[in-house]
């Protein structure tokens, strides 16, 4: 065939690939929204529960995103067709026995692409978005705060049942855990914790403590509880005027009045109030650490996820492409072994460029499969050459299909 005939055949095969992408992409458009939801699961899982949403910044962005989902799904589903057309284009230059590799090339190529995309989706994306969207120090504070809140809720439940002794034990455990965690695990946040945030949390905690005490000790304590509630009202009014010193003092007075509800359980009630104050301090500190908030757009996150999925799909195709080049005779295993160290450096540089994070874990998740796929490709080329040399020595040995 002349060069013009080769170009004509290439154009025809590209047209077939394009038509396949358009047809399968059009079908995918019907299911674009649920597919988009599946693709965004690793992103949303890394966000705080109260902020698990994506925004769009223009009226047509959502439609563009869904159309992009359809197109990329068409490309993904058309992988077998694309591989078959590639094989059909290069097969005229192969020996008849080498053309038997057509079916394995298409089947294993499609499986490799899907395996690469699955590895990216389940192994790389969750850890990557956790690193990108969660500040490590804030995550540590939040984890300890969640544990302390659960213990506090259990302590208040025991107090409602009248078991102040058990409530006090849980309060001591939670308080000691919070204090020990705050002493040595964290640096000072860049933003000073807000006093208003802390006092608002204290007001809420004091209200829960008053309610639990009223349920646990009943009618005889109504007069004292009424006085404590009045003090909380004074604290709320002072808080509204931003007179935080008066508000803090009024809350302490309200908590001290609880000693008159159960004189034998003064220590336990004081411990519960101390726990509520520690929780409020931790809450303010956590809010100070989270002074930046992610606001993710649909288009940007979809582009990032799709690029990574396609990148890993292509990376997992590397052994098959190298084997194909070995069959054609473009590359030799001796040459690949010689420049193996250079290939490792190139793989690491490519992984560093493609990985959007700077941590070692995600870099390893990208570079590791890339290096492994390169080694598998080298072995595949070596096996093909060995099989070919045996065939040349003994023509009775036919290549395995």
Give residue 294's pLDDT. Answer: 79
pLDDT of 333 above 90:
no
Q: Is residue 177 part of a domain?
A: yes
Dump pLDDT digits (tens) for 157-190.
898 888 888 888 888 888 877 765 554 444 455 5
pLDDT at 187: 47
- Shared domain for 154 and 277, answered yes or no, is yes
Note whether 146 and 280 are same-domain residues: yes
The answer to which of 149-153, 338-342, 351-355 has the lowest mean pLDDT is: 351-355
Per-residue pLDDT of 107-152, as tens digits, reads 888 888 889 999 999 988 888 888 777 766 666 667 777 788 888 8
Whole-Å CA distances, 101 to 65, 91, 256, 323, 349:
38, 10, 84, 10, 33
pLDDT at residue 19, as a whole number: 92
Same domain, 17 and 123: yes
Report the C-alpha gap between 296 and 90 in whole angstroms: 44
In the block, tokens 């450096």 appear at 345
When mean pLDDT is compared across 4-18, 142-156, 284-298, the lowest value belongs to 284-298
Mean pLDDT, residues 63-92: 85
- Do 20 and 50 belong to one domain? yes
Same domain as 284, residue 141: yes
d(CA 237, CA 231): 10
pTM score of the predicted model:
0.66
Average pLDDT of the chain? 81
Residue 329 has φ and ψ, to the nearest 5°, of 95, 15
Shared domain check, 258 and 144: yes
Structural domains counted in the chain: 2
**Per-residue model confidence as pLDDT tens digits over 360-370:** 777 777 888 88
Dist. CA 243–CA 247, nearest whole Å? 6
Number of helices and strands in the chain (H, E): 18, 0
What is the arithmetic mean of pLDDT over 7-14?
A: 86
DSSP 397: P
The answer as to whether 278 is a domain residue is: yes
Determine the average pLDDT of the residues in 331-351: 83
Q: What is the pLDDT of residue 400?
A: 44
Residue-wise pLDDT for 18-35, tens only, equals 899 899 988 988 899 999
Range of the domain at 145: 136-183+191-291
User: Is there a single domain that holds both residue 320 and residue 198?
Assistant: no
pLDDT for the residue numbered 131:
79
Does any domain span residue 398?
no
DSSP 331: S
Percentage of the residues of the chain whose pLDDT score is greater than 70: 86
Dihedral sign from CA coordinates of 176, 178, 179, 183: positive
For residues 141 and 224, membership in a common domain is answered with: yes
pLDDT band with cut points at 50, 70 and 90 for residue 52? confident
Q: Which of 291, 326, 350 is the last residue of a domain?
A: 291
If one compares 351 and 376, the residue with the highest pLDDT of the two is 376
Helices 266-289 & 195-217 angle (0-180, nearest 10): 150
Checking if the pLDDT of 194 tops 70, the result is yes
| Residues 336 and 262 reside in one and the same domain | no
**373 and 317 within one domain:** yes
For residue 298, what are its two tokens? 């649909």
Q: Which of 250, 271, 274, 269 is nearest to 259 (CA)?
A: 269
Mean pLDDT of 219-228: 77
Looking at the structure, tell me whether residues 113 and 235 fall in a common domain.
no
**Residue at which a domain ends, from 268, 291, 314:** 291
| Higher per-residue pLDDT: 48 or 167 | 167
Single residue among 271, 291, 311 that ends a domain in this structure? 291
pLDDT, residue 37, reads 92
Phi, then psi, of 55 in degrees rounded to 5: -110, 160
The predicted structure's pLDDT at residue 140: 66
Alpha helices in 120-135 (DSSP H): 125-133
Q: Is the pLDDT of residue 401 over 50?
A: no
What is the structure's pLDDT at 39? 93
Residue 11: closest CA among 115, 85, 108: 85
Asked if residue 174 and residue 274 are part of one domain, the reply reads: yes
């Amino acid at each position: 065939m002349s060069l013009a005939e080769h170009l004509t055949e290439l154009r025809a095969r590209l047209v077939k690939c394009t038509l396949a992408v358009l047809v399968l992409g059009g079908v995918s458009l019907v299911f674009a929204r649920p597919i988009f939801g599946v693709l965004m699961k690793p992103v949303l899982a890394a966000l705080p529960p109260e902020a698990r949403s994506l925004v769009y910044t223009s009226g047509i962005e959502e439609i563009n995103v869904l159309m992009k989902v359809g197109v990329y799904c068409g490309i993904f589903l058309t992988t077998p067709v694309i591989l078959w057309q590639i094989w059909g284009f290069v097969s005229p230059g192969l020996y008849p026995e080498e053309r038997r590799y057509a079916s394995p090339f298409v089947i294993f190529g499609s499986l490799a692409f899907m395996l690469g995309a699955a590895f990216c989706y389940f192994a790389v994306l969750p850890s990557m978005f956790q690193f990108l969207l969660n500040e490590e120090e804030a995550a540590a504070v939040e984890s300890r705060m969640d544990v302390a809140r659960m213990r506090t809720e259990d302590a208040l439940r025991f107090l409602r049942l009248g078991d102040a002794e058990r409530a006090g034990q849980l309060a001591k455990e939670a308080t000691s855990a919070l204090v020990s965690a705050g002493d040595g695990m964290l640096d000072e946040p860049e933003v000073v914790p807000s006093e208003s945030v802390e006092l608002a949390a204290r007001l809420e905690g004091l209200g829960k403590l008053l309610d639990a005490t009223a349920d646990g000790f009943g009618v005889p304590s109504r007069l004292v509880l009424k006085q404590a509630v009045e003090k909380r009202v004074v604290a709320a009014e002072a808080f509204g005027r931003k007179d935080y010193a008066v508000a803090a003092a009024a809350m302490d007075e309200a908590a001290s009045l609880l000693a008159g509800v159960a004189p034998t359980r003064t220590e336990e009630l004081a411990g519960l109030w101390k726990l509520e104050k520690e929780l409020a301090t931790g809450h303010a500190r956590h809010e100070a650490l989270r002074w930046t908030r992610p606001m993710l757009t649909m288009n940007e996150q979809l582009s990032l996820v799709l690029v990574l999925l396609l990148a890993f799909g292509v990376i997992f195709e590397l052994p098959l492409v190298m084997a194909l080049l070995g069959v054609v005779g473009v590359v030799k295993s001796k040459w690949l072994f010689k420049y193996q160290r250079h290939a490792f450096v190139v793989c690491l540089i490519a992984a560093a460029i493609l990985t959007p994070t700077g941590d070692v874990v995600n870099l390893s998740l990208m570079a590791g499969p890339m290096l492994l796929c390169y080694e598998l490709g080298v072995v595949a080329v070596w096996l093909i050459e060995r099989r070919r040399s045996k065939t040349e020595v003994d023509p009775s040995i036919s290549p395995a299909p």
